Amino acid sequence: MKFATSLPPFLLVGSILCLAGCGNSDADQSKGGQPGSSSSASQSSSQAPQLSIGSVKFIYPTQQSHLGGVEQVPLVVQIIAPSDQQSTVSQLKIGNVEFEKRGQYWYSTSDLMITKAGKQNFDVQAELAETGEWVNAPALSLNNGSFIQASSQQIYSIKGLAIDLDDSTIFFSNPYDAEIYELDFTSSNAEIIYSGEPTSNLGAFIYWPIAIDSAADTLYLSEDKYSYNQQESEDEYTVSLVKIAPTETQKYPDSEGLIKSTRGLFLDIDSVMPMSGYNANSPIPSILSIDFLSQETIQRWFLDGDNVFVESPNVRGVNDESSLSPDLNILALAGYLDADNSKVLVSREFANDAKQGESALIEVTSASTGGTPRVTATFKTLLEQIKPTALAYNREGTHVFIADANKIWKMNMADYTKELVTSSSSILSKGAGNPIGNNVTAMALHPKLEYLYLAADTNGLIMVDLATGNRITVVK
């Protein structure tokens, strides 16, 4: 996916593997033949048409990622073939590690060994099946230095996170610089695809949650900010819904000032849930968000053509345990669409208005019998000694990932048993790598692979290998 932007595009240096004409100044990087041989690709180019294998996307670990002291890692890459050529990669090698292809991804047959300190570069070589030539790609660069720096840019805070289900493109927001980025897995560049007006109050919390409509390649942002009102001599808080499509960007302010805060976004663009509409016969594409400072802690944007507006879904708790009162500190939201089984899961920090008791998960569902949809909140389970700051369902909607202070849990929603996925806590640790921190505000699961991405505020964009619990920093 590629979004339109008014900014100059980033130069993706060396993202194409080719047999000739790459202009590489390093003689060793332009050789063909077997890995490490001296046969010239330029000689063979006179005998056969020039072929390119396309771009190499480093899925895990990502290009220029920081490994947090992990000394050996399995590798996963994806090769995107050029659209105008039919070339085939028959073998792939990074450093001294060989690969095998399974489906659309290449998996290392052994772990890549890393030293504990500093940056290391690993040669990337591929064999073209059509010619038998080996060509060199730009090296994979990994960092294990004492200073955590990842990707080609330094970004202060990452709070919003979304992943395209069709092509696995990752988007994230940096609210304090008022920017949304698209991550390039080939070069590790983060391209700015949207830039807004920075907030006037850098000391106040803002979140910039995002969500994506993968089918339409359209990103939605709940843009919250403070603007200084000179007449009133104070900062005013506002929220706008921003629709970022490949060809245009549209902004819809909450002109009535109904939204007092925003955290988390969940899209129901196809109006699957009954609450996405006035009644069963009038479905309207909707976007749900948490408004933790309002009496109506779940807010809903209706996307009724060009008429975009806010209206609360009027959630009713089945009992006192199911309350979503703002006094209970509503923290996170996740949703799952599955016809009549569609659901929204909300976390709260406290059990009563005195801000006491354990955290809990509350499920919000809706039903319609021909009239106004009935939206119901139902208490599901307590979360003992957990402060759930972000939630994300698995692909099947049977389990939910729960972000906690320095930890990520995975809970079975059938019996509420949970397992520790990863932890950088000194008391209860699992996996190795960089610290998660106390403020994970969004999570996204890779559409096909077992990796979980975390928007970890000033700790950057973190990627968790669910098989091991190891954590790498993708952007910071």
Mean pLDDT of the chain: 88
User: Is the torsion defined by CA of 157, 401, 185, 250 positive or negative?
Assistant: negative
The confidence score (pLDDT) of residue 1 equals: 67
The confidence score (pLDDT) of residue 35 equals: 54
For residue 471, what are its two tokens? 């954590």
For residue 224, what are its two tokens? 């919250």
Please tell me the distance from the alpha carbon of residue 438 to that of residue 464, in angstroms, as a whole number.
16
Q: How far is CA 66 from the centre of its chain?
A: 17
Please tell me the distance from the alpha carbon of residue 466 to that of residue 448, in angstroms, as a whole number.
13
Q: Judge whether 376 and 368 are in contact, CB under 8 Å.
A: no
> Quick one: how many helices (H) and strands (E) in the chain?
1, 36
Q: State which residues form the domain around 71.
A: 16-143
Question: Is the pLDDT score of 425 beyond 50?
Answer: yes
Question: Is the pLDDT score of 246 beyond 90?
Answer: yes
Q: Does residue 345 fall inside a structural domain?
A: no
Q: Does residue 131 fall inside a structural domain?
A: yes
List C-alpha distances in Å: 243 to 192, 220, 237: 15, 5, 20
Q: What does the pLDDT look like over 140-178, one tens digit per residue? A: 999 999 899 999 888 999 999 999 999 999 999 999 999
Q: Please identify which residue in the block is written with the tokens 């389990």.
A: 399
Please tell me the distance from the alpha carbon of residue 264 to that of residue 108, in angstroms, as a whole number.
36
Q: What does the pLDDT look like over 332-391, one tens digit per residue? A: 999 999 988 899 999 999 998 888 999 999 999 999 877 788 999 999 999 999 999 999
pTM for this predicted structure:
0.90
Please state whether beta strands 374-383 and 316-317 pair in parallel, antiparallel, or not at all (unpaired): parallel
Please tell me the distance from the alpha carbon of residue 54 to that of residue 439, in angstroms, as a whole number.
38
Q: Does residue 133 fall inside a structural domain?
A: yes
Q: Does residue 80 fall inside a structural domain?
A: yes
The count of domains in the chain is 1
Confidence of residue 17 (pLDDT cuts 50, 70, 90): very low
Please tell me the distance from the alpha carbon of residue 387 to that of residue 403, in angstroms, as a whole number.
8
Q: Does residue 297 fall inside a structural domain?
A: no
CATH of the domain at 130: 2.60.40.10
Q: Does residue 270 fall inside a structural domain?
A: no
Q: Does residue 90 fall inside a structural domain?
A: yes
The confidence score (pLDDT) of residue 42 equals: 38
Q: Does residue 383 fall inside a structural domain?
A: no
